[in-house]
Structures are given as structure tokens and as C-alpha cells.
Amino acid sequence: MALSGLDIYKLLPKTNCRQCGFATCLAFAMQLAKKTVSIDKCPFLSPEAKIALEASSQPPIKLITIGVGENKLEIGNETVLFRHEEKFHHPCGIGFIIEDDLQDAAIREALSRINKLTFERVGQKLDVNLVAVKQKKDKERFVKATQLIMQNTELSIVLMSRDNEALGLAARAAQDKKPLLFPQTFDNIDDISKIAQETKCPLVVRAKEIDTLSQLTTELNKRGITDLVLDTQDKPVADKIWDLTQIRRLALKKSMRSLGFPTIAVVDNPDPYEETMEAATYISKYAGIVLIKGNAPWQALSLLTLRQNIYTDPQKPLQIEPKLYPIGQASEKSPLLVTTNFSLSYYTVMGEVEACKIPSYILSVDTEGMSVLTAWAAEKFNAEKIKAAMDKCAVSEAVSHKRIIIPGYVAVMSGDLQDQSGWEVIVGPKEAAGIPSFLKNLQ
């Protein structure tokens, strides 16, 4: 369990010798608690203190890496139950199941669709992470389907097999790509252990009950297998959410090392809408990986959007660089709109301007990532700030007119801005959706 600064201070020599680079042991302890320095900086720690501090600095949920290179997926290393306490660190991996009873052409076609599931939203690239090959036929077909998938995607791979011999063969064939091994039954722990030890690939541990999972991870850890992902098998959604929540709670709040691993949830629902909703539920709480069968773009986009919202830092709003953005072939006669540098505000305005095909400028004012009304209430988006941004971005050199369009929600500042800037201030629509018709009428 993480120690507080004062707990850590009690373990330090308290000589204030400054060799760690801090004026006092207390200052060093506070930084250690924030994890901004390493314990190695203090050369005078007693062996007991070192053991205690090292144990407390281990993440309560182990970081697990699946795949290699640029597209590798890292999950786990989470430290809190609720995202208002601290950012969730490693976004849930989203993957798609392909069964090996499909023809080769159908597998290639599915992979071609999955490989294209990449989107841009509020300035961020959203990508899916995994392709899971699931065994339905014999071991030869499973290995062949695995090889086909390896040749046709850069995404990380999950090997789902009910037959340990087939799993071993496919794991050896895909070993260089560090796939996640997902035995569908966990009856023969000796066989599974051998495959994981030999290939050094991360392993899904399966059991219906959390207690059994805990016993299995303890046994596997004794055998030196520590890269684990937990699965409590197929269950009704409410039961699965209960399991995912309990595992996270026991790892974080009760420091149960045997459950300190990320989790996986497999959705098996023939209705694509229900399948997506179920996957969304597990992304929200607390799956490290979610696997679904459907790979339609709308399914991926809705899950990626949800994931993006959950895994952003709630204390740091997504923001863009505050500056003057030309949209389309903007010229000196183009309208000039102003908004904040909150990503969602900017990209919503930008999307509407682009959609109406009227080249324009958007002046994004530095409001520390706050949206229009919040920034206005916090005095980060007022006449003074907008005037300062106009000067800094030299808007008078970009356009030959002297008209600026402000969001309708802050119409109240129009007189003030007009006085301060000497520009004509036009009050725009309250909602971005009104921008196209507003700009067309303005022309």
C-alpha cells in the first residue's frame, strides 16, 4: 500500500544531510510520496527501510505489456478506484475476435476492416488495439489462422484456445509478437505454465470465482509467471461488473497482491447494439481489455469515444494550443470567430465552420482548457483576455476588416470588448450547431 509522506519520513535517517539533493529528509519524503524521486537518492537507508519503501512503491495493479513495438498495449498500473481521485493511467485495450473457422479470404477481409478502425477526435488519434484469434477447429487450423493474422495486422494479438497443445503451437509461432495467451479452460495448470514459461508471453488466468483466481495467480507467481490478466469467465453483466469492481477494490484497498493484475472481459452477444453497450459497461468499470466480435466502425468509434472520455485527466481538460487557426482557404475577408482553447469547444466550432465550407479564422483564447461559460465565470474569457489574444495573434494582419464574432453565451461582454478592441463585436449563436446558418446569413 502507498505510504504517506509522514510514514516515509519515519523510515528515513532524519539527519538532513542533503545528499539526496533536498534540504531536509522531510522534503525528500514528500517527493517520494508523490513518486517524483527514487529511493536510490538517499544512500543512508537501512535495509529494513529499503524493503518497506520498495514494497510501497510497487504499483498495486501490475503493468502488463501485450505485443511489441509501436502498437504494443500496456494495461494495469492503476492506483485509484475513481477517476476524480487521479487520472486512470492505461486505457482499456479494445480488441476484436476472429474465429478460425472462417475462410482465409474472410479473415483477411475482417482484418482489413479492423486495421482501418482509426479515428481522430478533439485533436487526438483513437486506435483499436487487439485482434483475438479464437479456436473453433483443429490445432493446425488455429496455427494457420494465427499466422494469417500475424501477416495481416500490426495490432497486438490474443490467442484464445480450448486446447493447450494448439495454444502452445500458436504461441511458439507468434512468440516474437508477444501475444496474450488466453486458455479457454484452466484445468491443466502444468501445461499452461510450461507454455507461458517457454514463450514468456502474458497469460490470462480464468476462474469463475475470485477466490480461485487468487489461488491460481499465487501458484503461477511461485512458478515465476507474473505477467497475468484476470478473467472471471462468462456471466450476466451485473455479475461481471461486480467481479471487475471487487478485483479492483481488493487490489487497491486491501492490497491483495494475488489480485493485483489487470482484467479482461469478453462480450458474447449476437445483437451488435447490446454487444456495444455491454462492452461500454466493462470499459467504464474496470476492464483492462474488452474483446467483442462486431467490428463495424460505429461500434469501434462509440467505444473509443467513451474510452477517451474516461481516460483523460479530469484535472487537466483537453486543450489545444491557443492561436489563430485558418479554416479552409481563409483570406483577409474571412469571418473571424473567437472561442476558448478547450479542445471540445474548439473542435465543435471548427467542425461546424468546415461543414458550411465558408473559409474563416478561429481565434482560440488561452482559458486553461475551460469551456466558454466556465471560462467566462472564472474571468478567463473576458474582453481583456480576448483583446490580449487578438494582439498576440496579430489578427489585424490576418483580416482586413474589424469584425469579431463572439459566442452567444457571452453576449454580455460585447460592449466591453468593443470598447477595448475598437472592433465591431457581433454576437454569434449560442450553440455551435447554429454557426453554418449564421455565417451564411452574415455573408
**Binding stretches for ligand SF4 (CB under 6 A):** 12-13, 15-20, 22, 25, 28, 42, 44
Contact 87, 134 (CB under 8 A): no
Looking at the Cβ atoms of 30 and 169, the one nearer to ligand SF4 is 30
Looking at the Cβ atoms of 16 and 115, the one nearer to ligand SF4 is 16
- CB of residue 58 to ligand SF4, shortest distance in Å: 20
Looking at the Cβ atoms of 20 and 94, the one nearer to ligand SF4 is 20
Looking at the Cβ atoms of 15 and 185, the one nearer to ligand SF4 is 15
- CB of residue 25 to ligand SF4, shortest distance in Å: 3
Looking at the Cβ atoms of 15 and 331, the one nearer to ligand SF4 is 15
- CB of residue 55 to ligand SF4, shortest distance in Å: 18
Q: How many CB atoms lie within 10 A of CB 333?
A: 10
H-type alpha helices, 285-426: 297-310, 343-356, 372-377, 383-392, 395-398, 414-421
Looking at the Cβ atoms of 42 and 350, the one nearer to ligand SF4 is 42
H-type alpha helices, 153-204: 164-174, 189-199
- The b-or-e profile of 373-400 (16+ CB within 10 A means b, else e) is ebbbeeebbbbebbbebbeebebeebbe
Q: Tell me the sheet residues that pair with 205.
A: 230
Q: Which of 64, 130, 366 is nearest to 266 (CA)?
A: 130
Q: Is 198 helix (H, G, I), strand (E, B) or coil?
A: helix
Spatial separation of the C-alpha atoms in residues 64 and 289, rounded to whole Å: 11
Looking at the Cβ atoms of 8 and 247, the one nearer to ligand SF4 is 8
Looking at the Cβ atoms of 18 and 223, the one nearer to ligand SF4 is 18
Looking at the Cβ atoms of 21 and 422, the one nearer to ligand SF4 is 21
- CB of residue 5 to ligand SF4, shortest distance in Å: 12
Where on the phi/psi map is residue 297: left (φ > 0), alpha (ψ -120 to 50), or beta? alpha
Phi/psi of residue 121, each to 5°? -145, 135
- CB of residue 93 to ligand SF4, shortest distance in Å: 39
Helix (H) or strand (E) segment spanning residue 54: helix 47-57
Looking at the Cβ atoms of 22 and 376, the one nearer to ligand SF4 is 22
H-type alpha helices, 70-138: 104-115
- CB of residue 43 to ligand SF4, shortest distance in Å: 6
In terms of DSSP bridges, do strands 289-292 and 264-266 run parallel, antiparallel, or are they unpaired? parallel
Phi/psi of residue 22, each to 5°? -110, 150
- CB of residue 263 to ligand SF4, shortest distance in Å: 38
Q: Which residue has the cell 507468434?
A: 174
- CB of residue 28 to ligand SF4, shortest distance in Å: 4
- CB of residue 7 to ligand SF4, shortest distance in Å: 14
Q: Tell me the sheet residues that pair with 121.
A: 124
- CB of residue 57 to ligand SF4, shortest distance in Å: 15
Residue 44 CA to chain centroid, in angstroms? 39
Q: Which of 425, 409, 348 is nearest to 377 (CA)?
A: 409
Helix (H) or strand (E) segment spanning residue 126: strand 124-127
